[in-house]
Amino acid sequence: MKKIILLVLVVVFSSFTFLGKDEVVFTAKIENRNSDSLVIRGGNNFSKTISLNKKGEFKSTFKIEEGFYQMFDGKEYAQLYLKNGFELVLTMDAAEFDESIVFKGKGAKENNFLVKSAVDSQSYDYDTLLASDEEVFEKLMAERKKNVINAIDNANLDAVFVSKYKEDFENGMKGLTEYYKKGLEVRKMNGAKAPGFDYENYKGGKTSLESLKGKYVYIDVWATWCGPCRAEIPHLKKVEEAYHDKNIEFVSISIDRAKDHDKWKQFVADKELGGIQLFADNDWNSQFVKDFQINGIPRFILVGPNGEIVNADAPRPSSPSLIELFDNILK
């Protein structure tokens, strides 16, 4: 009888051990949360929604295909690396997001590396990189690649993670290079007459680029659904305030779809957006967007008082180089 009981216990124990290895156990403890649910998405149309439990935690156990995933908290995204057998506990303050994320448990080293990589990437001066000439660009890219590869090679991480990370990083470098090459073509527009627009104004009527002639015009092409666009809003407000008495107009052109027109108007009101708020006539297919070869937003453009393009891919409001540019031209 004892042998039978022992055999049953071994079988039961083995079953629980197998389940642990065959699934991810994910727990998140979030202060100042943006939502009562988290969504984890990834390849092969994977999507997992984790709801807040009675303990005030997000906790779930699920099977996963090893690889990189995105966690969405209702407002922002964070990258995760998941594989069956991981037992991850995430803590963060949603008000600070990436800067506050800490992982503990099995799989923590790889995910903490991703967090650090995200924070480092956010502080990297991409504006200087993309504004450089080809020789400097290649030098800066080689330097960045060396630093990133050295960091992951010396971090003592899971071999599969390292391989996948390097593959993704290489693809990202290729994409950045392609983006830079397209930017070179856009920069050739500098000095030419700027294509015009005549779009609906939030305050009523229409506003054209021609009507702003005689002033510098700093144009922000954006959309309400665009996270990076929204991130620039506080910086744009500060710049607008700093130069409100100078010879410059700040124009924001939304390329939201027509069905989101009311959402755009509500967003402008709720966020108390300043400057001249316009709504493009055909989202991505608007002629102004096509003329400036805009395939990613936010995109910033500076037009001179005579209607010539000063910079077809101007620095973002969050970039110190924009202040340098404005101080030079708005003396």
- Whether residue 21 is contained in a domain is answered as yes
Q: Which domain holds residue 71?
A: 2-106
Q: Are residues 101 and 202 in the same domain?
A: no
- pLDDT at residue 21, as a whole number: 67
- Whether residue 113 is contained in a domain is answered as no
Per-residue pLDDT of the chain (331 residues; tens, 9 = 90+): 433 333 333 333 333 333 446 899 999 999 999 999 999 999 889 999 999 999 999 999 999 999 999 999 998 899 999 999 999 999 999 998 888 999 999 999 999 999 999 999 888 888 889 888 899 999 999 999 999 999 999 999 999 999 999 999 999 999 999 989 988 888 889 999 999 999 999 999 999 999 999 999 999 999 999 999 999 999 999 999 999 999 999 999 999 999 999 999 999 999 999 999 999 999 999 999 999 999 899 999 999 999 999 999 999 999 999 999 999 999 7
What does the chain come to in residues?
Answer: 331
Can you tell me the distance from the alpha carbon of 39 to that of 17, in angstroms, rounded to the nearest whole number?
Answer: 27
- pLDDT at residue 1, as a whole number: 42
- pLDDT at residue 182, as a whole number: 85
- Whether residue 165 is contained in a domain is answered as yes
Task: Please report the DSSP string for 276-309 in residue order.
Answer: EEEE-SSGGG-HHHHHTT--SSSEEEEE-TTSBE
CB 251 within 8 A of CB 220: yes
Q: Are residues 157 and 228 in the same domain?
A: no
| Residue 284 identity (one-letter amino acid) | W
User: What would the two tokens of residue 93 be?
Assistant: 């303050």
- pLDDT at residue 125, as a whole number: 87
Determine the straight-line distance between the first and last CA of the chain, rounded to whole angstroms.
94
- Whether residue 192 is contained in a domain is answered as no
* Residue whose token pair is 């924070």: 119
| Residue 138 identity (one-letter amino acid) | E
Q: Are residues 212 and 323 in the same domain?
A: yes
| Residue 95 φ/ψ, nearest 5 degrees | -70, -25
Q: Are residues 220 and 169 in the same domain?
A: no
CB 215 within 8 A of CB 322: no
pTM here? 0.65
Q: Are residues 175 and 208 in the same domain?
A: no
- Whether residue 50 is contained in a domain is answered as yes
Q: Taking the alpha carbons of 52, 58, 59, 60 in that order, is the dihedral positive or negative?
A: positive
Count of the separate structural domains present in the chain: 3
Q: Are residues 174 and 214 in the same domain?
A: no
Q: Are residues 164 and 217 in the same domain?
A: no
Query: 10 Å Cβ neighbour count for 331?
Result: 6
Q: Are residues 206 and 322 in the same domain?
A: yes
Can you tell me the distance from the alpha carbon of 275 to that of 42, in angstroms, rounded to the nearest whole number?
Answer: 38
- Whether residue 65 is contained in a domain is answered as yes
- pLDDT at residue 4, as a whole number: 39
